[in-house]
A and B are shown apart, each in its own frame.
Chain A
Amino acid sequence: MTARDRILNAVRAGLPTPRATPDAIAAEARALLDAPEARRPALAAPGLADSFCAKAAALGTTVARLPDLAALPEAVRGYLADHGLSATLALQPAPSLAVLDWSGIERHSAIAPDEPVALGLARWGIAESGSLVIHSGPDTPILLSFLPLHHIVVLHEDRLLPHLEDYAARTAGEAPPRNAILITGPSGTTDIEGSYVRGAHGPGFLHVILIAPEARPAD
């Protein structure tokens, strides 16, 4: 008998018979998700963007708001200058970013082990927790979000979802990517005496640039 059969047999031996039907189990599982508002925190502010910003700021994420994507390169130049960083950037190879006017900034798509700054797009934002959602893909390397010291993330306001369950609902039924990552604040650790230190292995600085909704180009 294989280990699989031994384990499943042992599990079944500890459970009552007859076993419930898959449909009954699915109905029970769905019922466990009913009325989620009674069991999750309320948003920090009435609007999704304000709630997202309040939660993000509490975690040490910095947030800037821009009227449109065209204003992004100028905002990035300002961020680099403010942090005394040289004008070089690992840029996510996304078409909507490539078409912008990045003059004055050296850009590359390969991410160095000690990359100072990288910029990428978030697929979704979650207002409840100030989280950014990133899905791996051909133009979304996962290491772009983990190797740099400064991680700049562009989030379109109309991609904000109120709660974690809303993200689960939006993606239910889709083929999941290799990695779906919720990023909530810069990398940190409390492993030495419980004292909080930023920049453990991932980015020590997380900067979100929120793009106002009406300015988003049609896909």
Chain B
Amino acid sequence: MSHATTRAPFKARADAALADRTLKLAIDRTTGTAEAKRAAALSAFPEFEAARARGKAIKDHVIAHLDHYLEEFERNAIASGARVHWAADDAEARAIVTRICLEADARLVTRAKSMLGEEIGLPHALADAGIERVETDLAEHIIQLAGEAPSHIIWPAMHRTREQVADLFRTGHHPPPAAEDPASMVQSARRELRAKFLGADVGISGANFLVADTGATCTVTNEGNAELTTTPPRIHIVTAGIEKLVPSTAHAFALLRLLVRSATGGEMTQYTTFHCGPKRPGDADGPEEMHIVLVDNGRSRMLADEFRAMLRCIRCGACMNHCVVYRQIGGHAYGGTYPGPMGAVLTPVLDGLAAARDLPHACTMNGRCAEVCPVGIPLPTLLRAWRARSWREGREPGAVRAGLSLWARLATRPRLYRLASRIGVRGLRLFGRGGWIARLPLAGGWTAHRDLPRPEGRTFMEQYRAWQARKGAGR
């Protein structure tokens, strides 16, 4: 899958993002709010740690019995009147959805935000089939007007400031918004999309959960766009990853408490909706057909390797909101469907390590992502596993390999290592001005963006020896 992967190499994209001050402003405004609201939500939920441990256990249980739950879900979904389709990869998923739309002579398709839809390249597939697609989530509507991909899994238009959104709506809305504050712009989008909701032939949604014992799919939104997408059209299509299963509605609720607090800092999304089959006989409204496309696309492969823990991910986005790298470069620089720490683990699965080798390196290993993950995914460990695999497969560049080999030779010879450290520390002092090193030969990549503290003069081992000697003398 490479439709979302922009062609420029990661470092070029990251450089461009770092130079974009408006982007930094936009990212700071939303991630700052998200971080503060999550912290407040957790302080009001002292049971969070216990809930997180159980959420992790529920996901592990489902993954360990995934074959059982897939079959149970399929059985119950079919009993509810839904049609269940299976797609081994993105191409199969695109073909299934496009075929359903074309067989229904669909001209207009509304879509409620689904990261899986992005992952399988649904927007492009619908366009290629000549079907008009209307994104109904406000952020997806913004990036559809901008012709962009999402830059965050919860706030896809996070990279856009309100001023930029105003520019898009001024030309994209008829009539344009009455004013350019967020409230007026939201009102304008409400007016603009209303006829599309009611005129669509097919509504496509994702699923936050697939409930095995009822065959229902569950969506969570705050805008109400999912229900307006899934109710009026004649056909409702759900695309969902096979890892979204839960045993029952009660298990979904246990995970929902974690998901919402971790994603937006709320306690419940405004609309938590279970969709079970098509409209029943006599129902006042609802679609006549419901199709569920279960998508593997690399997930069964993860089940068998060291990335299995990543299947626990409930797509809350907390890891990226708290990531020092994401907050500097934003989502687009990652180049895949999923950005931030979880994206740096998933993109090599989806696009291959050859295309995504840089992503697991774009990490400081500060561990913040693992601390905030509501299902305890050891993200730094998984990123390290990709680095190790990249090394084993010989994908690391020659300079890196040579540098690390040299370091390894030194590190396994303590005397030599200490000597080199002593020389290095004293050498570095020569480049310092007033406590900081602003420029260093061969290290422009580091010093271009930040200063290095000037070493104090002696290595740790030297100071430790001196301290030991003083302690010995004082006894």
Contact = CB atoms under 8 A, between A and B. Distances in A.
Interface of A: 2-4, 6-8, 10-15, 19-20, 22, 25-26, 28-29, 32-33, 36, 38-41, 55, 59, 93, 113-114, 129-131, 136-143, 145-147, 164-165, 168-169, 171-172, 176-195, 197, 199-203
Given A13-B304, A39-B51, A190-B33, A131 B274 contact: no
A184 to B, nearest CB: 4
Interface stretch (B1-9, B189-197, B378-386, B392-400): B189-197
Interface in B276-314: 276-280, 282-286, 294, 296, 300-301, 303-304, 308
Nearest to B74: A4
A194 B183 contact: no
B253 interface: yes
Given A19-B67, A164-B256, A178 B283 contact: yes
A39 B34 contact: no
B257 interface: yes
Given A11-B66, A39-B54, A40-B257, A179 B29 contact: no
Nearest to B214: A176
B270 A178 contact: no
A131 B70 CA distance: 30
Nearest to B284: A141
Given A142-B286, A186-B270, A7 B300 contact: yes
Nearest to A3: B86
Nearest to B236: A178
Contact of B71 (A8, A142, A194, A199): A8
Contact of A199 (B88, B157, B160, B186): B186
A40 B251 CA distance: 12
A192 B86 contact: no
Contacts of A197: 182-183, 186
B61 interface: yes
Contact of B268 (A3, A113, A184): A184
A176 B65 contact: no
Given A14-B303, A187-B270, A29 B47 contact: no
7 cross-chain pairs, A with B, having the tightest CB-CB distances, nearest first: A202-B224, A14-B304, A14-B303, A10-B300, A141-B284, A200-B223, A194-B30
Nearest to B193: A201
Interface stretch (B136-144, B403-411, B442-450): B136-144
Nearest to A195: B182
B247 interface: yes
Interface in B93-137: 136-137
A40 B256 CA distance: 11
Which of A2, A32, A40, A203 gathers the greatest number of chain B CB atoms within 10 Å?
A32
Contacts of A179: 227, 231, 273-276, 286
A11 B303 contact: yes
A113 B155 contact: no
A17 to B, nearest CB: 11
A200 B214 CA distance: 30
A28 B242 CA distance: 20
Contact of B276 (A130, A178, A195): A178
B222 interface: yes
A6 B277 CA distance: 25
A143 to B, nearest CB: 6
Contact of B274 (A26, A180, A200): A180
B146 interface: no
Contact of B61 (A2, A32, A177, A194): A32
Given A32-B54, A33-B254, A202-B224, A178 B194 contact: no
Interface string B141-177: 0100000000000011110111001000000000000
Contacts of B137: 191
Nearest to A13: B304
25 contacts: A6-B88, A10-B300, A13-B300, A32-B57, A32-B254, A36-B254, A40-B51, A93-B284, A113-B195, A136-B280, A137-B280, A145-B227, A168-B248, A176-B274, A178-B278, A181-B227, A181-B274, A184-B267, A188-B270, A190-B30, A192-B142, A193-B162, A194-B30, A200-B138, A200-B190
Nearest to B44: A41
Interface in B26-50: 26, 29-30, 32-34, 44-45, 47, 50
B474 to A, nearest CB: 52
Contacts of A41: 44-45, 47, 257, 267
A205 to B, nearest CB: 13
Contacts of B344: none
A169 B278 contact: no
A13 B67 CA distance: 10
Nearest to B302: A14
A147 B253 CA distance: 26
B283 A137 contact: yes
Contacts of A139: 284
Given A32-B61, A176-B274, A40 B47 contact: yes
- Which of B68, B71, B228, B303 has its CB near the most chain A CB atoms (within 10 A)? B68
Which of A138, A172, A188 is the most central at the interface, judged by chain B CB atoms within 10 Å of its CB?
A: A188
